[in-house]
Amino acid sequence: MKKLSIILLSFLLILTGCSKPVENTKEKEANKEKETIKIAALKGPTAMGLVKLFNDSDEGKTEVKYEYKILNSPDEAVTGLMKGEYDVCSLPSNLAAIINNKKEDFIKVAAINTLGVLYIASTNDHVKTIADLKGKTLVTSGQGASPEFVLRHLLIENGLDPDKDVNIQYKSEHSEVVSDIVQNKDHIVMLPQPFLTVAQKKVEGLKELINLTEEWDKLKDSGKLIMGVTLVRNDFLKDHEEAFKTFLKEYKESVDFTKNDEAAKLVGKYEIVPEEIAKEALPKCNITFIDGQKMEDDLANYLKVLYDQDKKSVGGKLPGENFYYK
């Protein structure tokens, strides 16, 4: 009997000893801290494409933890990026090339996030073509970024001198252009979506006169009109590539979600534009996720078009192979 008791006790000790490490492993997995990625996005299509990712992160549903800021101007994002405050940024496509030329091997572009979203609009319908802008004043934003160079390229291709034939007045933010057309209803403006929809809700009779994406597509060898890209700091990428790959997966899911009826609600929640405006504007925002070789081919072609028109638009020279994340 005594011998049997000793055998049973030994068996229990073995079981207890075996089970404890399993419990510790589960605890470690449950308590393991998620890696953190700091993101900057611009108020507009780039942030709209990220709302599901932001919301899922806030609710603890993402594999990576995301800290994020939704900014009003590219300058704010670039300043923070250069200081290392952000790991990932969504920026106008040409600014990514300019940053690369200012600080070589500082960033890589990982995805195209926004295609053409620019429109010429007015309450008057006397402007029907790009050539009709001759002698007119045009109020817009995006000086130094893609909107300026897209506009200049289209003006030149339509026989106009941007510095002489059109009086282009730049505002620092898209919202300032909206304020301008609200106060001066006869002005001609160039605005991206969703800000054009915002303006149309405030100004009766404000019409889309020219879709600049359609005008761009008419040009020979112009390729895709690429307004925004998502980039990553190389210093961050070097030590956190697996986390970044997870971000790209969750980001693509977030972009796909913008086709869902629920997306407008989240756009409103994150105060990009009100929900009712988002419902109308989202289908026009050309939010996308293009990565890999297609991203490289399309973006390289677009930057070459800008470079051929004005070298300053991309920072003086075209980026090399290291500019693209593969």
Residues 204 and 65 in one domain: no
Same structural domain for residues 211 and 244? no
247 and 103, same domain (yes or no) = yes
Strand partners, 66: 37
Percent of the chain's residues with pLDDT above 90: 86
Cβ atoms < 10 Å from Cβ of 304:
14
Any domain includes 179: yes
Q: Say what the pLDDT of residue 34 is.
A: 84
**Domain check: are 213 and 241 in the same one?**
no
In this structure, the answer to whether residues 177 and 315 fall within a common structural domain is no
* Domain CATH number, residue 132: 3.40.190.10
Q: Residue 181 domain-assigned?
A: yes
Q: Are residues 136 and 98 in the same domain?
A: no
Q: What is the pLDDT of residues 243-259, one digit of tens each?
A: 999 999 999 999 999 99
Residues 6+ apart with CB under 8 A from 262: none
pLDDT at 18 over 50: no
Same domain, 142 and 204: yes
What is the pLDDT, as a whole number, of residue 261? 85
Interacting residues of 120 by C-beta distance below 8 A, sequence separation 6+: 127, 133, 138, 188, 189, 190, 208, 209, 210, 212
Question: Do residues 179 and 203 share a domain?
Answer: yes
Amino acid occupying residue 136 = K
For the entire predicted model, the pTM comes to 0.86
Q: Is there a domain that residue 93 lies in?
A: yes
Domain check: are 108 and 48 in the same one?
Answer: yes
Range of the domain at 176: 118-218
- The number of distinct structural domains making up the chain is 2
Tokens of 240: 């956190």
Q: At what angle do helices 93-102 and 74-82 cross, to 10 degrees?
A: 30
| Amino acid at the residue 7 | I
Say what the pLDDT of residue 280 is.
96
In a domain, 80, yes or no: yes
User: Do 174 and 301 have their domain in common?
Assistant: no
DSSP letter at 324?
Answer: B
Query: pLDDT per residue over 290-325, tens digit each?
Result: 999 999 999 999 999 999 989 999 999 999 999 999
pLDDT tens sequence across 57-110: 999 999 999 999 999 999 999 999 999 999 999 999 999 999 999 998 999 999
- Which amino acid, one-letter code, is at 208? E
Q: Are 48 and 278 in contact (CB under 8 A)?
A: yes
- Asked if 178 and 314 sit in the same domain, the reply is no
